[in-house]
Amino acid sequence: MRRLLPCLCTLLLLASCAQPAKPEEAQFFAMDTVMAVTAYGSRAADCVTAVEQQVNHLDALWSRTRADSEISQINLHAGDATAADLSPETARLLQNAADAYEHSGGAFNPLMAPIMDAWGFTKDAYRVPSREELTSLLPLTVDLPVLGYDSPDFTHATASLPHSGQELDLGGIAKGQAAAMLMDVFRGHDITSALLALGGNITAVGTKPDGSPWTVAVKDPRNTDEYLCVFPLTDRTCATSGGYERFFTAAEAGVEGDATLYHHIIDPQTGYPAESGLASVTVVSDDPLLTDIYSTACYVMGAEAALDRWSRSDGDFAEFDLILVTDENHVYVTEGLEQNFDFRGEQNGYTYEIIRR
Ligand code: AMP
Ligand code: MG
């Protein structure tokens, strides 16, 4: 028996060398963006299928461009005192969006739809609305939906918007909530090695099959074919928000000869695209929901307020890390990301510093 054991171990080793782990992969389009999942493990094929089904299911509930989604039902009945029936998933999303509004001091606002429409983002029919038009829409973004439910797990939930003309747009939180829910799908399929990309929200489940960390890259917001930095990610989510992801020029919207850029993250105080001095914000945390909310909110708040949040994050706020790229080509990286952080922005004129508490 003693002699057999080393032989058995060698055999097992050989077997594992002979069969390098093969990933199961899927790419699909949902929530208005490209989604990709890579998973390893004996149940990876089923897991990847379940991930795609779950995302499509949530997209059908939350899309504001599909008339039959639960979000569209709430929007349709804004101001007419009819409450829409909600699945627990949608009720939870709305509760989380309301919490995000509160915790971000209103920088994250789930009611930006009328303003997104005014800029033409919803139908890719871009225009530059007048200041008066934007000012007249701002009151629609103030009163959050009224949520009703029977129990903390959101059974028999309903929601209504108090004023006609109000509309929900959950584009800044839906992918984060979806990723958070998908963690149960990975766990349920015993997956300990996977990478999930819901648009710019990347979640690393465990490590690569060989035990080394997954690596992620942040794009250079001014040269999006190039990387600004690369760093390891294990059991955490990384999400980037930036004006460069969706924008148009005034000239494209019919203002001849005007190269002014207008992007898709709106400052709820003004109705104009946020001008906080940041070109992109990357948030890294172990909570995919928080990551998505804070990347949008910190982009609106600007570097000073974002770093202030970060410095208090093991007190009043959950723990997270930041990579802030300023309009002046400076990059702030919080200390939790320092280890094995590979900065590649020098050749494009960027400088960077590690921020410590
Ligand atoms: P993200 O890419 O996660 O930063 O989300 C950007 C999307 O969130 C936009 O395309 C809008 O759908 C929506 N949005 C725009 N401005 C805000 C805001 N201030 N708060 C919350 N969501 C917003
Ligand atoms: Mg977001």
For a substitution probing ligand 1, which of 103, 112, 198, 290 has the most ligand atoms within 8 Å of its CB?
112
Tokens 């033409």, located at residue? 120
- Segment 140-168, tens digit of pLDDT: 999 999 999 988 899 999 999 999 999 99
Q: How far is CA 240 from the centre of its chain?
A: 7
pLDDT of res. 316: 62
Cα(296) to ligand 1 centroid in Å equals 6
For the beta sheet containing 84-86, the strands, ordered from the edge strand earlier in sequence to the opposite edge, are 84-86, 157-160, 146-148
Closest Cα to atom 11 of ligand 1: 171
Give the chain's radius of gyration (CA, Å): 22
For the beta sheet containing 321-326, the strands, ordered from the edge strand earlier in sequence to the opposite edge, are 24-30, 33-40, 193-198, 201-206, 237-242, 278-285, 321-326, 330-334, 351-355
- Sequence letter at residue 209: P
For ligand 1, residues with CB inside 6 Å are 108-109, 112, 116, 169, 171-172, 241, 264-266, 268, 292, 295-296, 300
- Sequence letter at residue 255: V
Tokens 């493990």, located at residue? 41
70: helix, strand or coil? helix
Structure tokens at 84: 């829409």
- Segment 28-52, tens digit of pLDDT: 999 999 999 999 999 999 999 999 9
- Count of CA atoms in the C-beta half-sphere (13 A) of 192: 5
Q: Locate the ligand 1 atom nearest the alpha carbon of residue 108 and give its number.
A: 20
Distance CA 237, CA 290 (A): 9
pLDDT means per 10 residues, the chain with 357 residues, are 43 43 95 97 98 98 96 98 96 97 96 98 93 98 96 94 98 97 98 97 97 97 96 98 94 93 97 98 97 97 96 78 98 97 97 96
Q: Locate the ligand 1 atom nearest the alpha carbon of residue 295 and give its number.
A: 4
pLDDT of res. 313: 77
